[in-house]
Structure 1
Amino acid sequence: MASSVRFFIPCYVDELWPQAGRAAVELAEAVGFRVRVVDAVCCGQSLSNAGAASGRLEARFEAAVGGDDSEIVVLSASCAGHLDSVRPPQARPAVVEWCEWFARHAPDRFPKRVDRCIALHGSCSALRPSRGQPSRGVAAMRDLLSRVDGLVVADPEFASECCGFGGSFATTFPELSVRMGKDKLASLRDAGRDQGPVDGIVSSDCSCLLHLRAIEGVGLPFYHVAEILRSAA
């Protein structure tokens, strides 16, 4: 009998980047899991960023996941970080970001080669500590991508700098947000100067990717980590 796992697919992924959700589910199923998607709609981060006190959406999340202690796998470092910040320490069920979870279950090597050079964008949420503990988000991304033969992962020079999205920051300070995004894109494009031209950008946060893609237009393609891994599975 297949093991069961619960996924929380963020609202913006469901609406704007559904291919990432499909890839994540298919990868989990390929390694023997039966995926259940929790009906929580939104983690509440957008309202929290706008200054609203944690409340209805967070309560809806807790109601949707309650009654079962099995961990909730979140397809966004940003949403996982928000939930971790507003929930009590040691809250059950535990919340874990998808890359960190899948790194525990993915094969040591993926069967298909992917001959390309991609630049790695570690979002602020994937980089920052949580509850005083070092983040494993970027390390988990790098670990998973290293299991794909032929794939070259390039690091930008200013890897820890924000892309300029920052949730409500992008709407409160749009000019600054776009300027930061352009700087981040320039850094990502230049990341492969010693390894070959970058032909794509990958991240564990589709929110950053949506922001960068809107600035980039029809240039480089953007991928959630799950999409790259799915192409190698």
Structure 2
Amino acid sequence: MYFANLQKSYGDLSVLRGINGQIQCGEVVAIIGSSGCGKSTLLRCFNRLETISGGQLMVNNIDLSVANLSTKSLQQLRAKVGMVFQQFNLYPHMSVLENLTLSPRKVLKLSSVEAEERGRFYLAKVGLAEKETAYPDQLSGGQKQRVAIARSLCMQPDILLFDEPTSALDPELVGEVLQVMRTLAEDGMTMAVVTHEMQFARDVASRVMFLNQGLVEETGAPSDVLRNPQSERLQTFLSRMNGLTV
């Protein structure tokens, strides 16, 4: 993934004001910053939920700088770039396994048998093998988010995007979701994670990107960015997050 002078505006409001960077295969990049700095907008540009206003953006060899992206290219992008949202977006009228197998059947054209086999595999991977017949309203928030992660994995993506995946969870449920994400990182999954979990960013991310007012203010290894921040704005931000001492 490569982006240069990436811009996104809504009318007169400029949200991303020229962001540069790249995410290499196997990297885990934690994107941090205050609310309104453009973190989620940047993530949504990566899978074309938002169309960029200017600059260059290449994701999985697909040029997202093109205004009129073909339906075929968009389908290829969405099949290989998964996204896990703050809210779980599970279909309440479908069982857990049905939620997992829908896209593989409809998009990848897998048979029901193949899709269910894949769904059970990834459900076990997130520690919820026994929940395949349950419905979303029978699950805790942490379980719903783990199902949402398994659903993305069922598409066997090259890249996973996480938009504050623990922000809607009660504090005691955060750990189970972060553990699944740690395991994915250890398995080599390429991940871009918008997060306020500084411990996760410090321990799991290969790189941290700090956004401020629509620009990348600092980026680098977690040991540098989180333990030795250079900008006053990042120092202030970190002093307020999870008691992290700077």
Tell me: higher relative CO, structure 1 or 2? Use CA pairs within 8 A at least 6 residues apart: 2
What TM-score comes out, normalization by structure 2 length? 0.27
Q: Which has the higher strand share?
A: 2
Higher alpha-carbon Rg: 2
Query: Which structure's residues are more often helix, by fraction?
Result: 1
TM-score by length of structure 1 reads 0.28
